[in-house]
Amino acid sequence: MKRTAILLSSLITAATLATAAAPAVAADLGAKPVYKAPAIDAWNPWLIRVRALGVITRNAGSVDQVAGSNLSTTDSIVPELDITYFFTKNIAAELILGTTRHTVSVSAPAALNGLTVGTAWLLPPTLTLQYHFTDFGAWKPYVGAGVNYTFFYSQSAGGNTVGGATVISSSLQNSGGLALQAGFDYMFNRHWGWNVDVKKLFLSSNWSGTVVGLGAATGKVNLDPWLIGTGIVYKF
116-145 average pLDDT score = 97
Which 8-state DSSP code applies to residue 138?
T
203: three-class secondary structure by DSSP: coil
Q: Where are the beta strands (DSSP E) in the chain?
A: 46-56, 60-63, 70-73, 76-86, 91-97, 100-108, 116-123, 126-132, 139-157, 161-162, 165-172, 175-187, 192-201, 204-212, 215-222, 226-235
Evaluate if residue 163 carries a pLDDT over 80. yes
Evaluate if residue 19 carries a pLDDT over 60. no
Predicted local confidence at residue 231, as pLDDT: 98
CATH number of 46-235: 2.40.160.20
Of 40-44, 109-113, 182-186, least confident by mean pLDDT is 40-44
pLDDT band at residue 43 under the 50/70/90 scheme: confident
Query: What ranges do the domains of the chain cover?
Result: 1-32, 46-235
Cα 10-18-12 angle, rounded to 5 deg: 25
Distances (CA, A) of 108 to 5, 59, 209, 222: 131, 11, 18, 15
Evaluate if residue 8 carries a pLDDT over 80. no
